[in-house]
Amino acid sequence: MKLVSTPRIDFLRVLSAEILHNYGRGRTIVAIDGTDAAARSAFADDLSAVFREDERRVFRASLRYFQHSRAEQQQLAPDTPERAYLVGYDYSALRRVLVEPFRLGGSTGFVTEEFDPDRDAWIQPTWQTAPADAILIVDGDYINRPELHGLWLYSVLLEGAPGSESFARYLAEVHPRDIVSAVIDSTDPQALRRVLTDRC
């Protein structure tokens, strides 16, 4: 379905065209990074809608639903502002039930949600399959840390909102601005702006 044209949607159409030009065939995983969880999620949802305009099969996931339980986090690290950054997420599960089966292609099933952090409980898995050409868009905290960055074919960093103490550590240690495919100023969500970076 054709979306109503706005500056935000037009910007996302240009971005989607860039991604499809480089990764238009096969299974493509796009990561959305940034300090503002709501802005990340809205960006990922809108980008998905733009891809669907082009009749692409798109799947959405969030690292939010691949966290360790509260009990596991307590066992792994003391209760500090940085605990979520250090041990909050179950990257092994993310790879095992989502990323690796999605990348395998064929009829292999994958799961886009495993754990509900609000209920602190496991989610009954809903297995999905995808066609040969499909796009998975994943948003989340610290999504370009070294153990994850290599999983994404294309990654976006949204800038504009101040980060928490744990995000400050992430930005200082990982420098996602230097490794993502696109840096976007999202200070005004209706007037997104591409930020040129010097990575020569």
DSSP H or E run through 43:
helix 37-53
In a domain, 155, yes or no: no
Note the pLDDT tens digit of each residue in 152-183: 999 999 998 887 888 989 999 999 999 999 99
In a domain, 88, yes or no: yes
Note the pLDDT tens digit of each residue in 54-69: 899 999 999 999 999 9
Q: Using 50, 70 and 90 to split pLDDT, how confident is the model at 149?
A: very high
Q: How far is the CA of 47 from the CAs of 63, 86, 89, 137, in angstroms?
A: 17, 29, 24, 8
Q: For residue 106, what pLDDT is reported? A: 85
In a domain, 169, yes or no: yes
Beta-strand ranges (E) seen in 26-92 are 27-34, 58-62
In a domain, 193, yes or no: no
Q: Which residue has the higher pLDDT, 1 or 42?
A: 42
Q: For residue 199, what pLDDT is reported? A: 57
Look at residues 78, 84, 100, 111 and name the one whose alpha carbon lies nearest to residue 29. Answer: 100
Domain hosting residue 137, numbered range: 7-19+27-143+162-185
In a domain, 200, yes or no: no
Note the pLDDT tens digit of each residue in 102-141: 999 888 999 999 999 999 999 999 999 999 999 999 999 9
> Domain holding 130: CATH number?
3.40.50.300
In a domain, 93, yes or no: yes
In a domain, 197, yes or no: no
Number of domains in the chain: 1
In a domain, 166, yes or no: yes
